[in-house]
Amino acid sequence: MSRYQKRKTSILISDFDGTMTQRDFYELLCYKFPHILQLGAWEQYEHNEITHFEALQRMFASIKSDENTLLSLLDEMGVEPRLKELVDSLAQTGWEVTIVSAGCAWYITKLLAQKNVDIPVHSNPGRFVPGQGLEMTLPLHSPFLCQDIGINKAAVVKHALQNYKRVAFAGDGQPDLAAALLVEPDKRFAKGWLANKLCEVNQEFHPFEHWSDVAEALLKEARSS
């Protein structure tokens, strides 16, 4: 039986930007193309005038660069350097890894391909259109469609809880809160905004700095059981 034929009884559902990477794609875009902040889209989202998805969609579409310039930003995201090694090790112990993201699958799948990692991705489809920017659309055919952010992360976790013995979640932002609260505290990993919010509402979790911390914690538990 190969490592990938081992029956998966556990699943780690992970955010991508800021969780599997050290920097968000959105953050890098704002630094590289400061004009997108002048659109006011993020302020409209914060004032509940438009959705999270609509804000990112408008900002991504305003990028009038060539594709190579946009691709160069991917190297600056700081994706987990040991990603393939850790995903393979988790698979050996029965842990499947799935990504849930309110960002765009365009850059996520490119980064995973660079790392030679093949895992499920639930995110917003996208494509680069010369002269029109990064065109992001809602995942209309996904069973986890959410009009506000694209993917309902909590729905992904609920589905996993019905199909796996153990479900872990790792995230760092506001869209991760509802999903994180669904898993057991010892399978809840948080950093950044999410960690601060969980502390505020007196919910236990494992803090982490790098995605490798999450994987290593699950591997350690698997080896000791």
158 and 98 in a common domain: yes
Q: Range of 90's domain? A: 10-21+80-124+137-224
53 and 156 in a common domain: no
pTM, 2 dp: 0.93
109 and 43 in a common domain: no
User: Across-strand partners of 44?
Assistant: none
Task: Determine if residue 34 is left, alpha or beta; phi over 0 gives left, psi from -120 to 50 gives alpha, anything else beta.
Answer: alpha
**Which tokens in the block code for residue 168?**
């872990």
DSSP labels, the chain? --TTTS---EEEEE--TTTTBSS-HHHHHHHH-GGGGGG-HHHHHHTTSS-HHHHHHHHHHT--S-HHHHHHGGGGS-B-TTHHHHHHHHHHTTEEEEEEEEEEHHHHHHHHHHTT----EEEE-EEEETTTEEEE---TT-TTEETTTEE-HHHHHHHHHTT-SEEEEEE-SGGGHHHHTTS-GGGEEE-HHHHHHHHHTT---EE-SSHHHHHHHHHHHHHH-
Q: For residue 6, what pLDDT is reported? A: 45
114 and 43 in a common domain: no
155 and 46 in a common domain: no
Within a domain: 4: no
38 and 17 in a common domain: no
pLDDT in tens, 165-197: 999 999 999 999 999 999 999 999 999 999 999
63 and 35 in a common domain: yes
- pLDDT band of 1, cuts 50, 70, 90: very low
33 and 94 in a common domain: no
Q: For residue 224, what pLDDT is reported? A: 83
50 and 115 in a common domain: no
Q: For residue 38, what pLDDT is reported? A: 87
**Do 136 and 127 form a contact (C-beta atoms < 8 A)?**
no
Count of the separate structural domains present in the chain:
2
Q: For residue 218, what pLDDT is reported? A: 97
Within a domain: 2: no
pLDDT in tens, 44-97: 999 999 999 999 999 999 888 888 888 999 999 999 999 999 999 999 999 999
114 and 38 in a common domain: no
- pLDDT band of 28, cuts 50, 70, 90: very high
Within a domain: 132: no
Within a domain: 100: yes
158 and 102 in a common domain: yes
- pLDDT band of 7, cuts 50, 70, 90: low
Final residue in a domain of this structure, among 37, 57, 75: 75
Q: For residue 152, what pLDDT is reported? A: 97
**Per-residue pLDDT at 143 exceeds 90:** yes
- pLDDT band of 2, cuts 50, 70, 90: very low
Within a domain: 131: no
68 and 88 in a common domain: no
The Cα 207–Cα 209 span in angstroms is: 7
Check which CATH number belongs to the domain holding 218 and give it.
3.40.50.1000
Mean pLDDT to the nearest integer, 158-168: 97
Within a domain: 1: no
**Per-residue pLDDT at 164 exceeds 90:** yes
